[in-house]
Chains A and B, each alone.
Chain A
Amino acid sequence: MTIAEVQSEARFAAWVGELAADPDRRGQLTGLLREDLPLYDQRGTATIVRMRGWILVTLARSEISDAALVFVLEELDTGFDPYLVAAAARALRSYPRPAAAFAPLVLRALTNIRYRDELVSFETYGEYAVGPTGTTPVRELLATLAWLGPHARETLPELESLRMEGGGLARKYRAELDRASAAIRNGNPIDESGDSCCALPGGVQLSWPFRARSSSAALDEVVFEDQDGTPANFNELFQGHVSIVAFFYTRCDNPLKCSLTIAKLARIQQMLEARGLTAQVSTAAITYDPAYDVPERLRVYGRDRGVRMDGHHRMLRTRDGLEAVRRHFQLGVNFIESLVNRHRVEVYVLDRQGRIAASFQRLRWDEEEVVDRSVEVLQEKEEVEPAVPARPAGMMFPMLGTLAGLAMAFFPKCPICWAAYLSVFGIAGLNQVAYSPWLKAALLALVMVNVVSVWFRGRATRRMTGFYLVSLGALAMVSTMQFGWKGTAFAGVALTMAGSLLSARRAAVAPAI
């Protein structure tokens, strides 16, 4: 059976069973937890909960791998469905070794889920608890804390407060709570040196550096629209400066995902401002739900979460081309009709060429870490980065314009001038060189092409100084030709060159978008 053949939930459950029974294919179960699989397309959220929950329950029946660990921790960190959280808590206990880094996530899950506690059943696929039997997420989380034993020592004060009357956990969990506390206190002391509070085991990473950065050429045609309804393409928005890009949607009902992500983006903006990096690092939040998230909604959603919105920091939706964006960022999202049915937390740092330099996925990211990573990308030397294939003409036009300006300034104005030039360079055979006044028009055209190109670049980067200089240069050269003002020729060439180079240096001097 393949993903494409899995139509009904019954077939899905059978397939999961097949994979679990085959030691050679068991590893494929972890891959099924990726949100972007066609398996989850056009399924309701409740169905996805049943499917993902069943994968976690199946994984929990034997040892879970390092690859599966991040999905388990993600559910504990941001999950708010009782079945998924209970399954994740159980799955974590089948990881080969407990670690102190798990404890805060388990405790966080306990805080998140305690008021949504429900009986859940893990006996068969899709079964809902309809009687007093079964387990609950709170019970599973307490059992996981007991499994962590002394590794969860940091959580003891919190567990004590959960034991108190009024504000504490329900009395029916008192026995499990006491068992967990005793296991934590009485377990053999652990070697703290090898068990950091923050480092996740098994190579689980909170962020992924993208060493092989792929070009953003596929997004050239995608048109975005910001919170004010202003359209812009990908290059205009993300080229020429480092960017921090978060994904979200306004109809997200998990407060630990989109709403928190956008509030944290606002915090990132404050940190960038405090470090004086507002002009060098831009921020953007792109919605997964562009059809519904019209500019008005984007503006209100951002404003309510303290997001600064201007030409450098924007809330965006795609006017068209969400599919291209989804492919480029390999977004962890799926849909039912036009609505998001499941997504992961994801934030990206883009380099000056709009390529993905780092990503922060699944687990809650730290604002400081994202800002630090963006500063590292900012400090990268441009020359060590390979050129972006999608922008081969990036430097060509300004250089061409400068050469054209030089050629125009020193263009021989009459047949005698031609002779003079040729004699200077010692070229014999004057009669072999044709007098070509059309060259003047061609060079003038090239200068104009340069002016227009610099204008486009200025518009994209919102830095028009280069354009003004090039325009003055062109005016000076035209004056030279028209009125024979000799002094203006060199000024014209210098201004054209300065303007062209300034415009071409867009990546080094971070302009506002």
Chain B
Amino acid sequence: MATKRKRAASGRKSATSATKVHRSARAAVSVATNPKRTTKERVAASADAPLAICEDDKSLQAMLEVLRNRNEPVKVRLAALQSIQAASFSVVAFESCRADYIATLRSIADDPDPEIRQRVLGILAREKDGFAQKKLLEGLENPEKALVPPEKALQLLGYDLKAEAYAAAREIVSKPPNEDARREALRILSADATAAPVFEKLLQDKDETAEIRQLSASALQALKPEKLQTYARKILMDASDFDEIKATSLTALTQFGDEEAVSKDEELKKQVDEMSTKASPKVKQSARRFMTKYSR
């Protein structure tokens, strides 16, 4: 009986506490959307608003209006965006808000503020939104129309393997405007199995940066694991190669290596054994995993 009373009391307490949280979230929406309050107050209030945004249409529309309004301080708009985005993580509760939210994001994808533009396009691109993809591709084809730098556009297009970014990515790999754009273009190509020869070439080219070769190793691991294994041995036997590449090579051999062949390869095992004590921490760790598997 006493336990029942305790449970009922605890239930009432948590219900009261939830009501309090909701009340304070509703108050936060009202502060965040009030232009008479200071920027600092509104930004702080936005952080507490997510729970109340989808409770009623009025709250949602008020927050969306802050986000849309180009006369509002950028900090307030960014805080509103962050707040609505946080609310969207609760998929079920956000059901009634999603349609208006996505439409609003599209309407401000060409916002004069570069940070808002980039953040908005990022959210839409993660949703594999066709509108955002179209805008990003237009920007790559015609830099005058670009809403974000090419490397950012490629990175965002990379969220959808089936976006039409391959032709643009190949073009950028052959004539890169900068090293970041080249890296992002290669990242996109790493989903296409027909691009495997490009990555084989890059992996073997010791003049390439560690980052590009690392990316090539990862791409090959996904597209042609057997090819990476061939190169992995060569990389591990080369004392002058980058640690990152060695670590990836070790992982590739540990996870997908031909167990029989690797177990019999005494020269390779000796080399890796040395790495497990004398290399950088990252390589050491990978080398130990390799030895655990193949020295049995």
Minimum Cβ distance to chain A for residue B130 (Å): 3
B193 interfacial contact with A, CB 8 Å: yes
B-side contacts of A391, CB under 8 Å: none
Which residues 327-352 of A sit at the B interface, judged by CB distance below 8 A? 336-341
A128 interfacial contact with B, CB 8 Å: yes
Q: Is the CB of B128 within 8 A of A46?
A: yes
* Contacts A45-B128, A46-B160 supplied; 4 other A-B pairs, CB < 8 Å: A50-B130, A115-B92, A129-B103, A172-B57
- Given A43-B164, A47-B164, A128-B131, verify A118-B98 contact (CB < 8 Å): yes
Nearest first, the 6 A-B pairs at minimum CB distance are A170-B96, A291-B193, A46-B130, A44-B164, A128-B131, A45-B162
Q: Give B116-140 as 1s and 0s: 1 = Cβ < 8 Å from A's Cβ atoms.
A: 0000000000001111011000000
Counted as pairs of residues, one from A and one from B, with CB atoms less than 8 Å apart, the total is 95
Which residues 391-405 of A sit at the B interface, judged by CB distance below 8 A? none
Cα separation A291 to B226 with both chains bound (whole Å): 12
B256 interfacial contact with A, CB 8 Å: yes
Q: Give A113-133 as 1s and 0s: 1 = Cβ < 8 Å from B's Cβ atoms.
A: 011111100000010111110
B225 interfacial contact with A, CB 8 Å: yes
Cα separation A251 to B191 with both chains bound (whole Å): 10
Which residues 11-52 of A sit at the B interface, judged by CB distance below 8 A? 43-47, 49-50
- Residue of B191, B192, B195, B225 near A294 (CB, 8 A) is B225
Q: Which of A46, A132, A136 is the most central at the interface, judged by chain B CB atoms within 10 Å of its CB?
A: A46
Cα separation A128 to B134 with both chains bound (whole Å): 11
- Residue of A46, A118, A172, A291 near B102 (CB, 8 A) is A118
Q: Is the CB of A118 within 8 A of B163?
A: no
- Residue of A46, A116, A118, A172 near B134 (CB, 8 A) is A46
- Given A131-B107, A296-B225, A339-B192, verify A136-B162 contact (CB < 8 Å): no
A505 interfacial contact with B, CB 8 Å: no
Cα separation A128 to B133 with both chains bound (whole Å): 12
9 pairs, A vs B, C-beta closer than 8 Å: A46-B163, A115-B95, A116-B98, A117-B99, A119-B100, A292-B193, A294-B226, A336-B166, A339-B161
Minimum Cβ distance to chain A for residue B121 (Å): 13
Q: Which of B95, B99, B164, B226 is the most central at the interface, judged by chain A CB atoms within 10 Å of its CB?
A: B99
Interface residues of chain A, those whose CB is within 8 Å of chain B, are 43-47, 49-50, 83, 114-119, 126, 128-132, 134, 136, 167, 169-172, 251, 289, 291-292, 294, 296, 336-341
Q: Is the CB of A44 within 8 A of B162?
A: yes
Q: Is the CB of B106 within 8 A of A130?
A: yes
Cα separation A202 to B131 with both chains bound (whole Å): 36
B-side contacts of A83, CB under 8 Å: 130
Chain A, residue nearest B97 (CB): A170
Q: Is the CB of A117 within 8 A of B223?
A: no
B194 interfacial contact with A, CB 8 Å: yes
Cα separation A172 to B61 with both chains bound (whole Å): 13
Q: Is the CB of B223 within 8 A of A115?
A: no
B261 interfacial contact with A, CB 8 Å: no
A-side contacts of B162, CB under 8 Å: 44-46, 336, 339-341
Minimum Cβ distance to chain B for residue A400 (Å): 42
Cα separation A140 to B106 with both chains bound (whole Å): 22
B1 interfacial contact with A, CB 8 Å: no
Q: Is the CB of B160 within 8 A of A45?
A: yes
